[in-house]
């Protein structure tokens, strides 16, 4: 593999995450994301911090405040998903993305996505998109 030029790797890219079911392993569901260097992430972070107020440190806030803050922050990074997730969950929207991080029955998906989003290397590959797999496959 040849080393990409700096121009090719300068700006973060969107990424694709293939969802891994905790019991059944790889699925056909794919979520499209942008990472922590994206405008969506920065705008959401700034808005959420402003809503909290200047005196609130999110790391010291109560648990419900932290859950709401990070769910909204990560949901802002979801930019779409394939028809498999649409058929199983809902048409893509911010509110439907927010449910991935807050609905107790499907928050296992949000856990995978937040782990992926937090690894900035996932968004700096030279390809226009990355198919990533988060989680582990079940033992056979």
Residue 140 lies in a domain: no
- Tens of pLDDT along 37-47? 889 999 999 99
Band (pLDDT 50/70/90 cuts) for residue 1 is low
pTM to 2 decimals? 0.80
Residue 7 lies in a domain: no
Residue 23 lies in a domain: yes
pLDDT of 11 strictly over 80? no
Do the Cβ atoms of 11 and 120 come closer than 8 Å? no
Residue whose token pair is 């293939």: 18
Q: State the total domains in the chain.
A: 1
Residue 36 lies in a domain: yes
Residue 83 lies in a domain: yes
Residue 3 lies in a domain: no
Residue 60 lies in a domain: yes
User: Which pairs from 31-34 meet CB under 8 Å and 24+ separation?
Assistant: 31/78, 31/80, 31/81, 31/85, 31/100, 31/109, 31/113, 32/78, 32/79, 32/80, 32/81, 32/129, 33/77, 33/78, 33/79, 33/113, 33/116, 33/117, 34/77, 34/79, 34/123
Q: Which domain holds residue 65?
A: 13-133
- Tens of pLDDT along 47-103? 999 999 988 899 999 999 999 999 999 999 999 999 999 999 999 999 999 999 999
Residue 139 lies in a domain: no
């Amino acid at each position: 593999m040849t080393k990409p030029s700096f121009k090719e790797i300068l700006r973060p890219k969107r990424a694709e995450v293939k969802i891994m079911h905790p019991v059944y392993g790889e699925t056909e569901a794919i979520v499209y994301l942008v990472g922590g260097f994206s405008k969506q992430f920065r705008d959401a972070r700034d808005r959420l911090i402003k809503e909290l107020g200047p005196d609130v440190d999110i790391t010291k806030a109560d648990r419900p405040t932290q859950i709401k803050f990070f769910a909204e922050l990560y949901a802002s990074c979801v930019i779409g998903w394939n028809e498999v997730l649409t058929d199983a969950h809902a048409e893509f929207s911010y509110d439907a993305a927010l449910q991935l991080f807050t609905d107790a029955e499907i928050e296992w998906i949000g856990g995978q996505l937040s782990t992926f989003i937090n690894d900035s290397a996932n968004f700096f590959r030279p390809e226009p998109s990355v198919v990533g797999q988060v989680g582990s496959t079940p033992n056979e």
